[in-house]
Amino acid sequence: METSPIPDCNLLELVNISSALDLRAKNLLLPLHLSLSLSLYTETEGDHSLSSHRRLLQRERETPPTPSSGRSAMASPMDLLRSNLSRVRIPEPTTRIFKQECCVSFDTPKSEGGLFVDMNSFLAFGKEFVDWNFGKTGNPVYLHIKQTRKLVSEDRPLKKPTLLAIGIDGGFDNGEPEYEEAYSIVILPGYISLPFPSVELPEKVRLAVDAILLAEGAERKEQVAAWVAEKKQVSQYATNLQQIDNGVVVPPSGWKCSKCDKTENLWLNLTDGMILCGRRNWDGTGGNNHAVEHYKETGYPLAVKLGTITADLEGADVFSYPEDEGVLDPHLAQHLAFFGIDFSSLQKTEMTTAERELDQNTNFDWNRIQESGQEVEPLFGPGYTGLANLGNSCYMAATMQVVFSTHSFCARYYMNQSLKLAFERAPADPTVDLNMQLTKLAHGLLSGKYSIPVPEKDDDANVSKGSRQEGIRPRMFKAVIAASHPEFSSMRQQDALEFFQHFLDQVERAHAGNLEDPSRSFKFGIEDRILCPSGKVTYSRRLDNILSLNIPLHEATNKAHLEAFYKLKAQKVSEGKEVSSDQIVRPRVPLEACLANFSAPEEVQDFYSSALKSKTTAIKTAGLTSFPDYLVLHMRKFVMEEGWVPKKLDVYIDVPDVIDVSHMRSNGLQPGEELLPEVAEDEVGSTKLVANEDIVAQLVSMGFNYLHCQKAAIRTSNAGVEEAMNWLLTHMDDAGIYRHPYI
């Protein structure tokens, strides 16, 4: 659960602390009646089910419905239902059916009042909100679903996950209790209830309910709950792999890297038999990159990890460097025998890459949740509601927790707008309305209704009060906010900063200049001042909602500790050992140094001076023309290493309680300054800033789009590759990036 964001990631280092264990897919256990009914409906001879459906529709056309308001008070519940059959629909296979969560709240079938599914629109509503739907649509017939918790003994031991997956066999099991489901037909406004299943119910109602219960919920379709690593493919290099007969015979044990003293994480190149260490991890652990460097020198494509080879060759860890992924080698036995390896006698001594990834994810997630073993006090009540992980959704959860900690968004979607008002303003399908879903999310996070301890089972299988909360699952909000974005609508990991900017853009568009727009609270003005060698200046202004800052590592305050750590690390490497995680020392850079770096003068190459009528080197400084209610800082952690390889800095930013940014104010043209003259029309073509092709080429070689690279070079005044790459990483979600770079 994320009840409060912690620094990590690009958006002020936001990190999600939601449990990845709340996504177990549930199998819907249906009464025997339902499966029999489905069989009769779909498999009877001569299209009997279709004919039955047509007869029902024909009878409805011939018999006009009786308005419920004019109905006799003595009418039986069954008569009441029959008189409203025209308001009941049998869903088609393509119909979106909501049956797991209320459209305007986070009530579920597990909630005290259960869930009411409108049997005409197939939208779901909690007990508190179903009257609103009846008043708005007049639809009176609902399927009521109520789930009641089973008391199940926990004598069985928990199985360790063996698959990088959630909610499937071999994957993570979140330990959710099982529930029994009860169904009934409810007719509004009097909440007249009829039991289900029942042979006395009209056939149309039975068919409609069966279809609802057997259909996959729209929530499930839009939110895949199982996370599984991709299945390995057969390498295209395996069949025709050329092996060099150089006399190498690999012993069954006692391996060591040919270029250093590493004895773990070793890879055997299947072309020449070289044994080399694997890649270095971000935290300094792992190998020394000798295996991948050998591939770059020779082009030999396949390697197998020693220690993962057993009689079951399918479990061996084979990596293809040109394909840059783990692969299958159907000829692995033959390739191993070439170097004298009898795989049938080998034992597994190391984890595969997938197993190590699973192990690190398991330990990392729980360490973060438990704050490295520290005792943390659980918080409940208004403003302390967690967001459950939907599967790689930490970027969204962390961002929305921060957004709804601001007064502007709380006022717009919680204090000044009720759920009922948002529902009345919403279209027929409130699940696709951004205003409705933001209001729903705000009330879910801030009301405290869902921030309550849930019962947990103890060792005696008795229910006792625990300190855990289920939180809420923002599935409908994610579907709406990501509908127009191919990346955020996927289940892949995303960047919190990119999502934050996409979210603000959607909110701003929805308000279309309205003063109620809460995204305005993040906007501020930036002014660039360029001083030409002629002594004249030019000013340009723009609006932004983030302040992007470089990290000056040379301003680190713990340089002595860093030097000692680097010496220790070098010693460990020479001994073939790894630095333990508790020995790692990271640079600590004050935030004030990052802010000062933003305002510091920088050179601009190839600047055209209209005073000198030639290109020259100018000096640029930046400042703020206005200050937002909330200042969002983006720390540029990606830098360029030798060979123009992007690297993410492993660094701490020390943030004080009070930040003084008054020195960053820009006041425009100052007394005594003279503006550069306007460029004459006949000079415009020759003076237009052109992207530096060296910068563009280096960015393109990293995989960026050519036109995007041109725009990045122009927008950063050809300052350099690092500046252009930082601009690209910051503006990849901007709609304007897809326009021509010179527009």
Binding site annotation covers 532? Answer: no
Nearest residue to 620 via CA among 693, 718, 722, 531: 531
CA angle 87, 91, 93 (to 5 degrees): 165
CA distance 500 to 12: 11
CA distance 269 to 248: 11
Nearest residue to 518 via CA among 673, 598, 384, 630: 630
CA angle 197, 198, 203 (to 5 degrees): 100
Tokens 């270095």 belong to 280
Phi then psi dihedrals of residue 321, to 5 deg: -70, -45
40 token code pair: 């009769």
CA distance 354 to 360: 10
**77 prior amide bond cis, ω within 30:** no
Residue 660: how many other CB atoms lie within 10 Å: 9
The alpha carbon torsion through 27, 33, 37, 38 (nearest 10 deg) reads: 10
Count Cβ atoms within 10 A of the Cβ of residue 488 and give its class: 0-12 exposed, 13-18 middle, 19 or more buried: buried
**518 prior amide bond cis, ω within 30:** no
Name the residue type at position 339: F
CA distance 444 to 442: 5
CA distance 503 to 496: 10
What are the residues whose beta carbons fall under 8 Å from the beta carbon of 355, sequence distance 6 or more? none
Residue 141: how many other CB atoms lie within 10 Å: 26
Binding site annotation covers 294? Answer: no
Q: Are 125 and 144 in contact (CB under 8 A)?
A: no
CA distance 120 to 332: 59
Binding site annotation covers 260? Answer: yes
CA distance 385 to 46: 55
Bridge partner list, 147: 181
Angle between helices 32-43 and 48-62 (to 10 degrees): 90
CA distance 741 to 743: 6
440 token code pair: 């729903």
CA distance 662 to 48: 79
DSSP state of 675: B
Phi then psi dihedrals of residue 634, to 5 deg: -110, 115
DSSP state of 415: I
Name the residue type at position 474: P
Binding site annotation covers 103? Answer: no
Q: Report how far apart, in Å, the C-alpha atoms of 353 and of each of 140, 267, 283, 305, 350 are.
A: 56, 12, 16, 9, 9
Bridge partner list, 194: 185
Neighbouring C-alpha atoms within 13 Å toward the C-beta of 535: 3
Q: Which residues are annotated as a binding site for Zn(2+)?
A: 257, 260, 277, 290
Q: Which residues are annotated as a binding site?
A: 257, 260, 277, 290
